[in-house]
Amino acid sequence: MTSASSFLKSYGRLAERLLRPIGQRDGVAMQEILKAEKRLGMTFPAILRGFYRFAGKLKGINQAHNHLLLPKELYVGGGKGLVFYAENQEVDYWAIRLEDIKQNDPPVFQTPDPAGRDWSLDTDHLSEFLVAMFYWQAVNGGLRYKGYARIDGPTLRTIRQKWPLVKLTGYHLGDLQFFSRSGQVLCVSHNDLGVAARTKKDLAEITQNLSISLND
Q: Please check whether residues 151 and 129 belong to one and the same domain.
A: no
Q: Please check whether residues 20 and 72 belong to one and the same domain.
A: yes
Q: Please check whether residues 124 and 149 belong to one and the same domain.
A: no
Number of domains in the chain: 2
Q: Please check whether residues 68 and 102 belong to one and the same domain.
A: yes
Q: Please check whether residues 73 and 37 belong to one and the same domain.
A: yes
Domain boundary among the residues 133, 164, 194 is at 133
- pTM metric for this prediction: 0.96
Helices (H), the chain: 4-18, 30-40, 46-55, 59-62, 126-137, 153-162, 200-210
What single letter denotes the amino acid at residue 169?
A: T
- Would you say 184 and 142 are in contact if contact means Cβ atoms under 8 Å apart? no
Distance, in Å, from the CA atom of 59 to the CA atom of 192, rounded to the nearest integer, reads 26
Q: Please check whether residues 113 and 200 belong to one and the same domain.
A: no
pLDDT tens string 103-138 = 999 999 999 999 998 999 999 999 999 999 999 999
Q: Please check whether residues 70 and 33 belong to one and the same domain.
A: yes
Burial 195-212 (b: 16+ CB within 10 A, else e): bbbbeeebbebbeeebeb
Using a pLDDT cut of 90, give the percent of the chain over it. Answer: 94
Q: Indicate whether 47 belongs to any domain.
A: yes
Give the structural domain span for 166.
143-210
Q: Indicate whether 215 belongs to any domain.
A: no
- Give 216's pLDDT tier (boundaries 50, 70, 90): confident
- Would you say 214 and 150 are in contact if contact means Cβ atoms under 8 Å apart? no
Residue 76 in 3-state DSSP?
Answer: strand
pLDDT tens string 139-190 = 999 999 999 999 999 999 999 999 999 999 998 899 999 999 999 999 999 9
